[in-house]
Chain A
Amino acid sequence: MEECLAKKMEITVSEAEKRTGRNAMNIQETYTAYLIETRAVESQSEGQCAPVDSLWRRYSEFELLRNYLSVTYPHIVVPPLPEKRADFVWHKLSADNMDPDFVERRRIGLENFLLRVASHPVLCQDRIFYAFLTQEGGWKEMVNETGFQLKADSRLKALNATFRVKNPDKRFTELKHYSDELQSVISHLLRVRARVADRLYGVYKVHGNYGRVFSEWSAIEKEMGDGLQSAGHHMDVYAASIDDILEEEEHYADQLKEYLFYAEALRAVCRKHELMQYDLEMAAQDLTSKKQQCEELATGTVRTFSLKGMTSKLFGQETPEQREAKIKVLEEQIQEGEEQLKSKNLEGRDFVKSAWADIERFKEQKNHDLKEALISYAVMQISMCKKGIQVWTNAKECFSKM
């Protein structure tokens, strides 16, 4: 295993800043820029720290990087970016892109993205990626010079267009099916989680009203006054505690979201394979039909109906010279076609091999990450319950002193 970039270099997205500037159409806009800091990991035994390099990038540049990587490495499940717009929000969180909480979570997401790419055995070696991290000026031009946009297959954009593949690879079909299921289940889960958060928020906050009324009530009581007052205080604490709890849960939601988008990336790999297979089959089909044509011309038998054949019957047969010329052209094409088919087949097998290797790697990573996320969620719930126990034990004591 070659050394990943992540091991050689410390990467952080440490800051986010609001900027205004002029865009391509010379219209003023506000955007957020993120500071990427890198530092070479040297032997830190003597307490020496290598100098920190830094540069600013905005979200659209991250997008450009990712598009480049997806096209250049079609067999790799490319790590996803954090969402462009806030989705799955519950009512307290704003859906505003400029909201500081959202920007903060996005900053973490972008850092995560860079770390994922840097720890990928193949992607980390890409020079454009390296330049993204280290070269401030001229990076965009560098990317465009690679001409990756030409390689991008526009057919992939039509996400739901179906290509009739005659011999689909069963493994890829299953994988695509799985990625669809994963996407659907995670997005459903995130939606319901948002609703659950909303409801829980309601329950906690209404208890805060107790605090206010208890305090007002305690003003007219003599023996019960103190107990009521302090119990009311605990109700306020209870109501306030929900804010931190739900903020922590957002991080869990972000972890799930990453895999929601990863599922898309997985699906993209399957689609690319599908397309490859389709092209292969089309090429093979084309070759077969050309071979057939050749044979027909040579032997003069018409085995299959063709419009050309009919018209020639109507308007008279061709001359032998014409036929010879046609056969020659076809033979050349067949030669070409056979070579193409061979190379496509090779390409296909290579793709499948390397894709499958990356998919296995991805599966392991996914299982590990999701398990950890689920565990941390459970831990969060336990801590929430513990806080609840504490508050209500205190409240109970106050009540008993009334």
Chain B
Amino acid sequence: TSLAEVNSFSPSVPISPSSMISQYKFEDGPELRDLFITVDDPESHITAIETFITYRVVTKTSRGEFDSSEYEVRRRYQDFLWLKSKLEEAHPTLIIPPLPEKFIMKGMVERFSDEFIETRRKALHKFLNRIADHPTLTFNEDFKIFLTAQAWELSSHKKQGPGLLSRMGQTVRAVASSVRGAVKNRPEMFTEMSNYMETFSQKINLLDKIAHRIYKEEKDYFNEMKEYGAIHTLWSASEEDIADSLKGIASCIDRCCKATEKRMAGLSENLLPILHEYILYSEILMGVLKRRDQIQGELDSKVDALANKKTEKDLFSEEIGKLEDKVERANNALKADWDRWKQNMQWEMRSTFMNVAENNLRYYEE
């Protein structure tokens, strides 16, 4: 499949070629993809109780386990939240992609403004595609149901499985145990990861602040330049000989303004969202590391218990064996995921910054 074909699945979404590459890139290359998802067409629904937005999710696939090769469903934000929590439940030590937040604290965007909806739509699109790209998550059963089930089917499926309360109970216990015995026996690799994540999270937050600041400064610059251009035009009205030169400068200033607008748009469409995503990612990763520690903690406490109780050795050793397996698998999965993630991140950062650089180039050329 070439880039053109990938493009054809998202006719209404104006994604730039370079960001598409960054979204779909993974080790095997686009030729082996067999699952294509788009999120578009936000629609507003008004009921007696509430108003909410649904998004159209279109799936095209050649996989055997899917009954059909094309699906079109409508989902709302709540459904995405559900999917994320199911994935976290099933794979506590895998890195689940970030979802856009429920609200934006900045307050400059209203809940149902077009800008907010579009930003959210893009993020949801990315979310699903990242899951599809993930070698393990892509085969998750809940994921398949999310993509294919009709609205009523999804609701009834949601009601099955452990309820919210029990899940909450699990989380509380998990946090408690991880606080207690987390650091013991932790393989070196994960300590490194944890340290890395701390610094990384710090830096990403800083970059995000810097990028926002730059955006603001550029906006102010843009406003002043508009006035600047107008003055030159005004002046040209009182002059004869130099009127043309003045008008020339005024028109150049206008072009500068337009180029600045493009630069700002580039920032807000590419760099800012990605920086934000990685802020969320760093939180997610911290969570994953904690859960890993928690599982390790379970293993360790069982091992300790074994050392104290000589009886029921066999039962325990089986349990222990299982837990060790679990931890090992989790560790491996995490490590593999981590490496994948880093590569992806590198690629994304690289293309993002290249984008910024390109935009600046275009700005200066104009």
Interface residues, chain A, with chain B CB atoms under 8 Å away? 178, 181-182, 185-186, 188-189, 192-193, 195-196, 199-200, 202-203, 206-207, 209-210, 213, 216-217, 219-220, 223-224, 227, 231, 367, 370-371, 374-375, 377-378, 381, 385-386, 388-389, 392-393, 395-396, 399-400, 402
Contact = CB atoms under 8 A, between A and B. Distances in A.
B238 to A, nearest CB: 5
Given A224-B346, A374-B246, A378-B252, A396 B358 contact: yes
A258 to B, nearest CB: 15
Nearest to A363: B241
B217 A392 contact: no
Contacts of A217: 199-200, 203, 207
Contact of A400 (B203, B231, B354): B354
Nearest to A182: B238
B363 interface: yes
B365 A192 contact: no
Given A213-B210, A374-B242, A389-B365, A188 B231 contact: yes
6 contacts: A189-B235, A192-B224, A195-B224, A216-B203, A367-B241, A371-B245
Contacts of B248: 378
Contacts of A370: 242, 245
Contacts of B72: none
Given A193-B228, A223-B346, A374-B246, A202 B220 contact: yes
Given A189-B231, A396-B354, A199 B207 contact: no
Contact of A181 (B210, B218, B238, B363): B238
B353 A399 contact: yes
A371 B357 contact: no
Interface in B312-366: 346, 349-350, 353-354, 357-358, 360-361, 363-365
Nearest to A381: B252
Classify chain B: how many residues form its interface, as a range: 35 or more
The main secondary structure of chain B at its interface with chain A is helix
Interface in B198-248: 199-200, 203, 206-207, 210, 213-214, 217-218, 220-221, 224-225, 227-228, 231-232, 234-235, 238, 241-242, 245-246, 248
Nearest to A207: B214
Nearest to A385: B364
B210 A206 contact: yes
Contacts of B354: 396, 399-400
B360 A392 contact: yes
Interface of B: 196, 199-200, 203, 206-207, 210, 213-214, 217-218, 220-221, 224-225, 227-228, 231-232, 234-235, 238, 241-242, 245-246, 248-249, 252, 346, 349-350, 353-354, 357-358, 360-361, 363-365
Nearest to A238: B360
Contacts of A385: 364-365
Nearest to A186: B235
Contacts of B214: 203, 206-207
Contacts of A374: 242, 245-246, 249
B361 A396 contact: yes
Given A213-B206, A371-B242, A386-B364, A396 B346 contact: no
A196 B256 CA distance: 12
Contacts of A393: 357, 361
Contacts of A192: 224, 227-228, 231
A34 B300 CA distance: 84
Question: Closest 4 CB pairs between A and B?
Answer: A396-B357, A199-B221, A388-B364, A367-B241
B152 to A, nearest CB: 47
Contacts of B234: 185
Contact of B361 (A200, A207, A392, A402): A392
